[in-house]
Amino acid sequence: MDKRDALERIRHFVNDFFTDDTSGHDDVHMKRVASWAKYIAIKEGENPFLCEVAALLHDVGDHKLFSDPAQAIQQRDKLLMDVGFTENEVDTIDDAIRTVSFSRGAVPNSRIGEIIQDADRLDAIGAVGIARAFAFGGSINQPIYKEDEKDAISHFYEKLLKLRELMHTECGKQEAERRHQFMLQYLEEFYREQECREETSH
Ligand code: ADP
Ligand code: NI
């Protein structure tokens, strides 16, 4: 297989699906996750190419992003065969992707699955994660911050601040720690600015 050509065709396929997304699942998310998955794989002695490819494709067929997930998955697997992956490799990639999602509570059953999940979770935390939480919140008409309502700030407590403890790889844990501290700092500043406004508003 010509790996460079395969990657180019896969990136093209990913661009076609995600380039117009404004909910935090655009092609740039896929590329960041792919680049972290590749980096973690190298550190972990796993197959960096398979991890990069699976990460690039990890949101293809996600139920909240696709009206016909089964068809998208079929197209994805056809592309993988076309660019030269064996049936066995396609199964490995399918398996890793199926176990990535936080909202579906999936638990990976392979090292590749764990690496993709770590890379995807890193993209939900830190500076990028904060941006994505507000973008996603906006896409479902959720307020930034509002008492007694489900808002983007509450998502930090429901998910984002829990992810540090759920990382699988050493390298993922280290990066998650840094991003976790940054989110804590961000929240502290957010409340400070919020309080100032409240103190002077009555
Ligand atoms: P996964 O694919 O792992 O299930 P999601 O697709 O639910 O994750 O989340 C994608 C991005 O949107 C993440 O950055 C996540 O933190 C953010 N997100 C998901 N639900 C909410 C929400 N209710 N409010 C704000 N951000 C959210
Ligand atoms: Ni993702």
Residue-wise pLDDT for 110-143, tens only, equals 999 999 999 999 999 999 999 999 999 999 999 9
C-beta of 155 in contact with ligand 1 (< 6 A): yes
Q: How far is the CA of 14 from the centre of ligand 2 (A)?
A: 12
User: Residues 15-19: contacts with CB within 8 Å, 24+ apart?
Assistant: 17/60, 17/72, 18/59
User: What ipTM does the predicted assembly reach?
Assistant: 0.92
Contact between 59 and 29 under an 8 Å Cβ cutoff? The reply is: yes
Q: Where are the domains of the chain?
A: 3-200
Distances (CA, A) of 35 to 42, 75, 87, 192: 11, 23, 24, 35
In sequence order, which residues have a C-beta less than 8 Å from that of residue 25 and are 6 or more positions away? 18, 59, 62, 65
Residue 126 has a pLDDT of: 98
Q: In testing the pocket of ligand 1, which one of 136, 151, 167 has its CB within 8 Å of the most ligand atoms?
A: 136
Residue burial 66-82, b: 16+ Cβ < 10 Å; e: rest: eeeeeebbebbbebbee
Query: In which residue ranges of the chain is pLDDT below 50?
Result: none
Residue 185 has a pLDDT of: 98
Which CATH number describes the domain made up of 3-200? 1.10.3210.50
User: Taking ligand 2, which is a single-atom ion, which protein residues have CB atoms under 5 Å away?
Assistant: 59, 120
Residue 47 has a pLDDT of: 96
Q: How far is the CA of 120 from the centre of ligand 2 (A)?
A: 5
Distances (CA, A) of 83 to 13, 52, 132: 12, 15, 32
Q: How far is the CA of 14 from the centre of ligand 1 (A)?
A: 19
Supply 175's token pair: 């990066």
